[in-house]
Every structure is written in C-alpha cells, then in structure tokens.
Structure 1
Amino acid sequence: MPVTDVTTDPEALTMTLTAEFDAPVERLWDAFTTPRQLERFWGPPGYPATFTEFDLAPGGRARYHMTSPRGEEYHGAWEFLEIDGPRTFTALDSFANEDGEILADLPTSRMVFVFEPTSRGSRLVNTTHFDSADALEKIVAMGAVEGSTMAINQLDRVLVSLREYAEGKGTRTELLDDTHVRITRLVDGPIDLVWRAHHEPELLKKWLLGPDGWRMSVCELDPTVGGRYRYEWEPVGETEGESFGFDGETILSEAPRRAVTTEHMTGTDYPSTLNDLNLEEEDGATLLTLIVEYPDKQTRDMVLATGMTDGMEASYARLEGMLAAV
C-alpha cells in the first residue's frame, strides 16, 4: 500500500500523511490537480468524490461532495493559497453545505501537499495544520486517519492505465477493514455494456452463474431506486447441491457508473450485506470495483471461506466472453 505513515502531533497541531509511489512527481501532481483524476481517489472506498468546481490558482476555489453508499452527500470546499507546481500547493480545507457555504461549527484546516522525487518514483507528504488541539481531536475522532489512509491507498490505480493496473490478474479480493471487502476485476468491454449486463435479466442469466453446473432459474429485477430483485440458482446435470437465492433492494443508481444494493440470502435470517458496484472505463476496458459491507467480521470471514472469489471469477470470465460475442 502506498501510505507508509500517518502521525498526529498535538503540540504542533498537525496530522501528517506520507506515501510512496512508483511514478514521477509530474504524474503525481497531475493526479492531485486534475479534477476527474482526483475524483477517483479523494474519497475513501464507498464515498467517491465529485468535484463541481476547481480553479487551481491562488485565491481560486474547489468544491466537492462525497456520496455515501446510501446516497448521503458530504460537502467540502478548498481555497487555494499557494501553488508551485509540480512541487507543492497549499489550500484551506473546510466543511460546507450543498450551496458551498462554509460550516462555521466544524474546523477549517490548512493542507500542505509536497511532492518529492525518490529513487523509485515520488513521495507525497501531506501535512494538515489545525487551529487548536480541539479541532485536531475532533477531526481525528471523525475518522480522518483511517479515511485518508484508505483514500490515498487508492491512488496506485490512478497513476497507471486500468489495463496495466488490473489486466491478467483476474478477480482480486482485498480486506479493507473488519467489515469491508473490495473486489476488483477488469472486464474487456465498454462500460455501457457492462452496466447493461448487470441490470438486464436476459443478460444476467447468461453469465451470473458461478462455477459450471448451475443455472439461474429466477431472475426478477427492478433496477430503479427502491426497486427489488430476486435471483435463484439450481444445479443442472450431475452437479450436486441445493437450490439457493438472494434478494434485495436498490439503494442508489447512477447509470452507468454506480449501483448500490442490499443482498440477503433468501429464506434465511442471515443479515444483509451492502454491495457498492462502481465501473470505470478506459481504452475499451471497464474496471469493476465491488465494495461489500458486512454486518461484522464473523460474517465477512464466513462468506469469504465459501470460495466466493473463485465463483465470481468464473462468472466474470463468462461475462467477458459474452461481451466479446456482442
């Protein structure tokens, strides 16, 4: 992971994050100063950022919001103070409302980003300065250390092409914390087709099957927000096993890039998971990222022990083959 250290200093009133990258300083600078690239990592997993304003000049302003898996928006604003590209920039970081007005009851901090060359690429040193120990304590209590670490650890995937980042690696499962798992898979096909394949029953029945020997016997889907779905699978031929299914509800839908649904095993009292699907396209390939939120660590480990990743890889390989035939 890129982040090597995050420290807080109550005497200096600072929080400092350090990260190392296999990319030159100029590439790192571009990632932090190009809004469409910044959006891909600034929010922690499950809270992607959208920048609606970005004026990179002294006195200029940036506005953004992060959208939670359940659709809540958290707004922020930057005021750029000093810029010396590609080495450093400084900005005031404030909480804001949806109109961009600064919230006076939450701390404003001064962020200093320094980009340094290293023998293998570059180093980021991000020092955030606070006005008081109370402000520092409040921001840390809100999860700033964990959130900033997870956000910056996503930057590796931005600094290289999607194909370089993921092609040939198959389905990958990463543990983010005790209740969150991130699953990634590069699919060779355009984003619109990948989105359709996740939301049209006639396409879902062709690929969402897991290991060979199963068929989807029920596929009922209303992809609109508040809509319900129900999937069931049954063994075919000599395959052994019992029929099973999942049901849930669409919580958020932003076609063709993001869909959040609940998932519950039909006919059981198992708690539901929250599944946050994100799609990114580049050069004709789509990176699929699925963040799954489990109710607790025990449930997370139980599900992973079923061989979930292998089953998903079989489905995604089938999806890729289906898209190639379109």
Structure 2
Amino acid sequence: MKRRILALGLISALTAAPLATAAASSEAAVSNTEYRKQWHSDIHSGYQALATHSQALADQAKTYCQSPSPEAREQTRKAWLDAFLAWQQVRFVDFGPVEKGNRAWQFQFWPDPKNLVARKASYLLKNDEPVTAAGISESGVAVQGFPMVEYLLYDQPFSNSERALPADRTCQLLTAVTRHIADNSATLAQDWKDFQSDYVEHAPYTDSTIRAAMAGLEILEERRLATPMGLRGNGKRSVYSADAWRSETSLAAVEASVQGLRQYFMPAFSTLLENQNKANLAARIEQQFDEVQANFPGLERPMAPLLADDTAFRSLQSLYIDVTQLTALVNDRAAVELGVVRGFNSSDGD
C-alpha cells in the first residue's frame, strides 16, 4: 500500500513538472511582452518627434524660398539641425519599418567617401528637367535626405557659386528634398505605430532591439569617432570621415545619438536587466551614460579644430574612451548575460 501511495506521488510530481515549466515559460513571455510594449512606445515617441521636426523643416524651407533673407536662411538651418538631431536619436533602430525602401539610407546617406551628395546636387542643378517630388523619389538615396539639405545650406564652395541659395532651381531642390524627408518621416511614424502588434507579440524582437542598440554603439565608436580621429583606417585624422562635417555638427549628432539610446532604449533595457537580477549592471550602464554625456557641453563645437590641435584632441580622446566603455558594458557584458549575439547590421554600409 505504501509503495502504491509513493508511486502515485511520483506520478503526480512528474505530471506537475511540465505544467510548472510551462507556467514559468508563459510568465517569462508575458514579461518580455511588457519590455517590447515599452520599447515600442518609446521608439514611437522618437519617430513622432522626427516627423514633427521634419515637417517644420519642410515648412521653413518653403517660407525661405518664398521670401529669402539672411534671417530666414538661419531659421532654415536651425530647422534642419532640429530635424537632423531628431533623426540621430532614433538612428539606432535598424529593423522593422525603417528597413522598407532603404529608409535609413534615404534619411542619411553616409558614409560618402566619393562625395556623391555633391556630385548628385551638381547634376540635378545643371539638368533642365523640372525638380519634382517624383523626380526626387527616383533619384536615389544620396539625394533624398539630410546630407543633401546640409550641402545646399552649408557647403562653402557651393554657397559662393552662382547656383547658391536662393537661386530658383536650388530652392526647387531644397523644397522638394525637405518635402521628401517630411513625408518619409510621417510615413515611418505611422508604419511603426501599425507595427505594434507584430513587434509586441513576437519574442525575437527583444533580441532585435538589443542588437540594434549594440550596432548603434559600435558604429558610434568605430566609424563616427575612431575613424575621423585616425584610430582606424589609414591612421590619419580627417573630419571628412565624420558625418555632418559641412554643418560642423558631427559632435552634436553624437550627443543626440547617445541621448536617443538613453531615452528610447535604456528604460525597458534597464528593467529587463533588473528583472534578470542584473540591477547592478543596469546601474553601471546608466552611470556610464552619465560619464559619456558629461563630455558635453564641452564638445558642442566643430570637430575639425579638435582634430587639428593635440591639446584639444584630448577632449575627443576622453569622449572616445567613455563611449568605448559604454559599448563594452552593453555589448560585451549585458548582451552576453542575456544571451544576445551580435548580428549583421544593414546600416553598417558594409
């Protein structure tokens, strides 16, 4: 009789074990869904900000071309910078709707070692064909985004040429490109909103989001800082390897990208780490974000003079070291702890 009772108890335990495992698995899935809900909401806020600033840029470009003045040109530059920095904040997102139609490249064609943006601008401005929205859509990513507008507003040789703003055809190109950016931004924000169900309900998007942040940090460290600093590539310092060098806002763009990761990625990521008993690591990453951002506002200036002067260069080195440490914490510590493997990133340009 005792053996029968013991056998029944063993059978009950074995039967309950899969149920307990399934319950734990279900609980983990619910928890991961909550992380993705927060990520979706936070990233959507970033995309909405991009859409708002891009629309303001398109409106301001139209106003400037209708009534040109030095003041209106400066207002257009400011509107460009606001929209460009809004893009930098969400630039790390490299999956989902932003992959459609090479949208990320449409917003920012970079790197551009062959100066294709300038060559495309020259071709379009010399061409007799009307500059239309349809024409911009068919002209390729080097024409369609923020670098083209930056070229028209900031490039020094071009600004001294006969085609400089507010020349009629150049204004046509400016308004058409800014309109394209605004339309693209609005569509992206809506597409991301519509993407909510797929994103929240599919567990692999947790890893996709973490890998996107990892790639964003690697690109920031290796390509946006190390390469112009001469720490990679040919070993020579060159501001032309940085993005946004014409407007002298390369470092402002770096700051915006760091802020974007902190604002749109870290809240859910910190919660995920804390719920995995990694609260100390989450706190260390937040502290490292503080250390990176402490380099500003001291670096809110053009990169070129910092590259040219060895004493000033130390401030860039300090920033680079802090970013490297942040990348190591996220990519080599946190991601490993969570079992996330770095994957191929389509925005690498490789």
For the criterion TM > 0.5, the same-fold answer is: no
Question: If the length of structure 1 is used for normalisation, what is the TM-score?
Answer: 0.27
Hey, which of these two has a bigger chunk of strand by percent? 1
Structure with a larger share of its residues in helix = 2
Which one has more relative contact order, counting CA pairs under 8 Å at least 6 apart?
A: 2
Q: Which has the larger radius of gyration?
A: 2
TM-score, with structure 2 as normaliser = 0.25
